[in-house]
Structure 1
Amino acid sequence: MEEEQHRQDSEAPLLAASKPDGAASSSPPRNRFPFFCAVLASMTSVLMGYNVAVMSGAQIFMAEDLGVSDTQIELLSGAINIYSLVGALLAGWTSDRLGRRLTIVLTNGFFLVGPLIMTLAGGYTALMAGRFISGIGVGYALVIAPIYAAEIAPASSRGLLSSLPEIFINTGVMLSYVSNFAFSALPAHLAWRLMFAAGVVPTVFLAAGVLTMPESPRWLAMKGRLDEAKAVLDRTSDTLADAEQRLLEIEEVVDAGSNGGGSTWNEVATKAGVSRVLATVLALQFFQQASGIDSVVLYGPRVLAMAGVTSNTLLLGLNVLFGVAKAGSILIAMALADRVGRRPLLLVSTGGMTASLLVLGSVFAAFAGAKDDAAVAAVAVAAVVAFVCTFSVGFGPMAWVYSSEILPLRLRGQGAGLGTAMNRVMSGIVTMTFISLYGAITMAGAFYLYAAVAAASFVFIYTCLPETRGRNLEDMEQLFRTK
């Protein structure tokens, strides 16, 4: 009792500081410690976003320096997403065996080696080898950061904390665009190498910082380390009563999994709630990427060049604008996720994506030959900004939040790996076929196709997804069984 009272007294100033003046005593203040843990874990996603998107500007200078073709650019841009399948499928296994924390450290290792190889590459083969190692890191980052954030967070702030990986991915994308712009004035043989090298330095510091975080309490409970799990829950819950309740719910789920007989994958085949959860995760990840977001992320300068923007400096500057708009929109999603819920954000997002893609497609359909028309270029820029903003205000972060929180504990690592694999397959298909696609059906046809996928995702979300805001992770399977 004295130890518990001491803990309450020591945390009182922190909790009091987070409580607004005049707040009702019945509303407990939120604990800030899980926020700091989730931020540190999610910062690996900055490296993921940087390594994926840096090709957007680097490809211009690589083509000039090494003479790589459009086909090779397509492969280098999109292959990282296909290679990430390796990381995505291994991450679930690794996180279940080594723990969430060490898996994040391993992820940083891939982001150290891959970009370093790219920086020193002398030809296409070495470039592809570097993209392969970076791709494994991308798969790991996409799986482990949302899992850790969801498992460390109390229900009251899970939407906010689970959105952090997406905001950091977009921060990485934005920084890669800034890097593209900053190094664009250098000679071609230096410019693209420095763009990749800039992503190497932070990895060591991030890996060291991650080792200061606590391990996921749910992983500790799965390993039978209940005392350690309880200690982490005491530090990451809003109140001691909340910590006790979370521990009881986790223990029930762990006991149910260990006494259920058979494998987790047998449950997928035999339990309606579990199989429906996994199908929902796969569908969400399919729609998120099939709607074409990575075509804009990786080929934004090419799209705008075809809309009439002719200056390389202006193209890279506009790319920075897209990155700022995309990252800034995530802040709206973070602020609203635990207030209005996941489902409204997803519906507004997919509706806005559909509208902006239709406008962008119509610009190319109606003004395909207007190469020097500033008004046409301005409308195209506005449509692209609207697309990246509406994507990031809902579908971008909420697909990961929703997926990480509805998967049962015993399936979370491997299920998240499968969902990420689906996401990366579709991203790879989109990015490795975009140049060929618009060459076959025109730029207008490509964006009309993406608009149709976005509209289908709206219908799927409206008809199939229940709201999860405020629910404990251990309640999700029942929610999907009864809906």
Structure 2
Amino acid sequence: MAPDVEAPLLAASSKPATAAAASLPRRNKYPFFCAVLASMTSVLMGYNVAVTSGAQIFMAEDLGVSDAQIEVLSGAINIYSLVGALLAGWTSDRLGRRLTIVLTNGFFLAGPLVMSLAGGYAALMAGRFVAGIGVGYALVIAPVYAAEISPASSRGLLSSLPEIFINGGVMLSYVSNFAFSGLPVHLSWRLMFAAGVVPTVFLAAGVLTMPESPRWLAMKGRRGEARVVLDRTSDTPAEAEQRLQEIEDVVAAAGSVAGNGNGGGGAWKEVATKPGVRRVLAIVLTLQFFQQASGIDSVVLYGPRVLAAAGVASNTLLLGLNVVFGVAKASSILVAMALTDRVGRRPLLLASTGGMTASLLALGSVFAAFGGARDDAALAAGAAVAVVVAFVCAFSVGIGPLAWVYSSEILPLRLRGQGAGVGTAMNRVVSGVVTMTFISLYGAITMAGAFYLYAAIAAASFVFIYACLPETRGRSLEDMEELFHTK
């Protein structure tokens, strides 16, 4: 029997162009490399957001910048990013996803360069404004490109890449702060900003080697180019043909005309006329609201203050624990990347928000139980550290990266760029509100009260996800149109 079985197999293997071979799934790594290259822009985003944490010490000494000015300089980037977030959709629909990523790198080149050469506070703010625009662009365009270039089998993984790269950029900024801290004051902070300039040139050049989004190409009537890209980024030729047909059906249904450039305006009119489109936009905005309103930045940006209130007295230990939180956050995102295409978006989101609710309740209870007493300081500090790590992990294994993944998936093609921009604007506004009110909040209602409030918001996000978010794992982006009735 053995020869009879092996002969056909050997014969088949000698004909790579057979229909059977063409239909077999293959591990296509090309979309992964494209998504990684596009997502590298998120490293620059994380770097630019966090680099002031160490640079501010030296800026204050060198330029005489006050604490109030430092606070505005550090926090205003969330507000500035709104400009980029709102422009990114419009830009990506007209220039294309790829050129928009190049433009984003241009902002990350100009902004830090202005700051590194600044002679005063006005120039620092101008550079921060330019970098902030880049932050808004990066938050929108990297997940959109990753979602549109990926086959359904790996879209969750690849769309999660920007989130892990943002955290990588934050960690690199801490390394930069440490590496240049021993230099003369007038050089140290300037080199911290300048270090983020060099990679932008090489990254922009690399992005130009990537293919354009096949969905954008189809939307512009460039069918042949879209087919070539889909052939390179799909798992099988049959899948490439199916994806192309689905994209064309969506474009035709939207009434798109090649090169007319008016898709965005028509799409926004649908918000007023189509319940399905309104539902999708409402889901995106609500999901982005809950991602930030549940208080992640109160821990990420004020972690040392929280732990100090819980009884950790050593500054060295506080900073060391902050690094632990960063490692836990990045590691959990890797877990989310590995599971999102296997387990699904909905189970991870529910587990994430449920875990956040429980850990926030526990953190509030630590402060409520121990209060200002110092007899049990060690116990309170240990409990607070454990619960904060649990909270950060719960956030990062689900709603942290998947808010971006889910939002980029469910938006219809004609609204994806601009819809993602509006969702990002919501995310940045809420983030700014949380970061600029946390100290006042716990001053008014105590640290325990603040975390109980965040726990209530996290619980509301669990209910919202359970009631309103269907599973999207394994579905093509065009299939979302049927799922949410946005055609």
Q: Which amino acid aligns with 1:356?
A: S
Task: Specify the SS of the correspondent of 1:461.
Answer: helix
- Whether the aligned pair in 2 keeps the contact of 1:277 and 1:477 (CA below 8 Å) is no
Tell me which residue corresponds to 1:392.
396
Normalising to structure 1: TM-score of the pair?
0.89
Tell me which residue corresponds to 1:13.
none
Give the alignment of 1:22-33 within 5 angstroms. 28-33=25-30
1:11-66 CA-to-partner distances (Å, cap 9, x unmatched) read xxxxx9xxxxxxxx986122110010000000110111122223344445555655
Tell me which residue corresponds to 1:146.
143
- Whether the aligned pair in 2 keeps the contact of 1:48 and 1:138 (CA below 8 Å) is yes
Q: Which amino acid aligns with 1:107?
A: T
The count of residues paired between Structure 1 and Structure 2 equals 463
- Whether the aligned pair in 2 keeps the contact of 1:326 and 1:392 (CA below 8 Å) is yes
- Change in CA separation of 1:34 and 1:82 when aligned onto 2, cut-off 3 Å: same
Aligned pair 1:266/2:269, yes or no?
yes
Give the alignment of 1:158-169 within 5 angstroms. 158-169=155-166
- Change in CA separation of 1:186 and 1:349 when aligned onto 2, cut-off 3 Å: farther
Aligned pair 1:219/2:222, yes or no?
no
| TM-superposed deviation, 1:259 | 6.2
Q: Which amino acid aligns with 2:208?
A: L
- Change in CA separation of 1:76 and 1:291 when aligned onto 2, cut-off 3 Å: farther
Q: Distance in 2 between matches of 1:371 and 1:266?
A: 60
Q: Distance in 1 between matches of 2:334 and 2:211?
A: 26
Tell me which residue corresponds to 1:116.
113
Q: Which amino acid aligns with 2:306?
A: V
Q: Distance in 1 between matches of 2:306 and 2:179?
A: 21
Q: Distance in 1 between matches of 2:176 and 2:42?
A: 17
- Change in CA separation of 1:148 and 1:58 when aligned onto 2, cut-off 3 Å: same
Tell me which residue corresponds to 1:442.
446
1:409 paired residue among 406, 410, 413 = 413
Give the alignment of 1:198-213 within 5 angstroms. 198-213=195-210
Q: Which amino acid aligns with 1:195?
A: M
Q: Distance in 2 between matches of 1:61 and 1:432?
A: 23
- Whether the aligned pair in 2 keeps the contact of 1:104 and 1:141 (CA below 8 Å) is yes
1:232-266 CA-to-partner distances (Å, cap 9, x unmatched) read 00000011111111101111111111269982112
More off after superposition, 337-346 vs 438-447: 438-447
| Bigger Rg, which one | 2
| TM-superposed deviation, 1:457 | 0.7
- Change in CA separation of 1:335 and 1:358 when aligned onto 2, cut-off 3 Å: same
Tell me which residue corresponds to 1:348.
351
Aligned pair 1:287/2:290, yes or no?
yes
Aligned pair 1:256/2:253, yes or no?
yes
- Whether the aligned pair in 2 keeps the contact of 1:177 and 1:316 (CA below 8 Å) is no
Tell me which residue corresponds to 1:21.
none
Q: Which amino acid aligns with 2:353?
A: T
Aligned pair 1:463/2:463, yes or no?
no
- Change in CA separation of 1:66 and 1:312 when aligned onto 2, cut-off 3 Å: farther
1:111-136 CA-to-partner distances (Å, cap 9, x unmatched) read 11222233333443333222211110
1:451 paired residue among 455, 471, 474 = 455
- Quote the RMSD (CA, aligned, Å): 2.6
- Whether the aligned pair in 1 keeps the contact of 2:310 and 2:380 (CA below 8 Å) is yes
Q: Distance in 1 between matches of 2:114 and 2:450?
A: 34
1:93-118 CA-to-partner distances (Å, cap 9, x unmatched) read 11011110010011111111222233
- Whether the aligned pair in 1 keeps the contact of 2:38 and 2:145 (CA below 8 Å) is yes
| TM-superposed deviation, 1:477 | 2.5
Q: Which amino acid aligns with 2:447?
A: M
Q: Which amino acid aligns with 2:239?
A: D
- Whether the aligned pair in 2 keeps the contact of 1:61 and 1:192 (CA below 8 Å) is yes
- Whether the aligned pair in 2 keeps the contact of 1:31 and 1:236 (CA below 8 Å) is yes
Q: Distance in 2 between matches of 1:194 and 1:306?
A: 34
Q: Which amino acid aligns with 2:107?
A: F
| TM-superposed deviation, 1:199 | 2.1
Structure 2 unmatched ranges of 5 or more? 1-14, 258-262
1:296-346 CA-to-partner distances (Å, cap 9, x unmatched) read 222223333333334443333322222111111111111111111000100
Q: Which amino acid aligns with 1:105?
A: V
Q: Distance in 2 between matches of 1:446 and 1:73?
A: 25
Q: Which amino acid aligns with 1:386?
A: A
- Change in CA separation of 1:442 and 1:276 when aligned onto 2, cut-off 3 Å: same
Task: Specify the SS of the correspondent of 1:199.
Answer: coil
Q: Distance in 2 between matches of 1:79 and 1:289?
A: 16
Q: Distance in 2 between matches of 1:370 and 1:181?
A: 35
1:383 paired residue among 380, 383, 387 = 387
- Whether the aligned pair in 1 keeps the contact of 2:168 and 2:330 (CA below 8 Å) is yes
Q: Distance in 2 between matches of 1:299 and 1:189?
A: 28
- Change in CA separation of 1:62 and 1:430 when aligned onto 2, cut-off 3 Å: farther
Normalising to structure 2: TM-score of the pair?
0.88
| TM-superposed deviation, 1:447 | 2.0
2:80 paired residue among 83, 88, 103 = 83
The percent identity for this pair of structures is: 85
Task: Specify the SS of the correspondent of 1:354.
Answer: helix
| TM-superposed deviation, 1:360 | 2.3
Structure 1 unmatched ranges of 5 or more? 1-7, 11-15, 17-24
- Change in CA separation of 1:355 and 1:312 when aligned onto 2, cut-off 3 Å: same
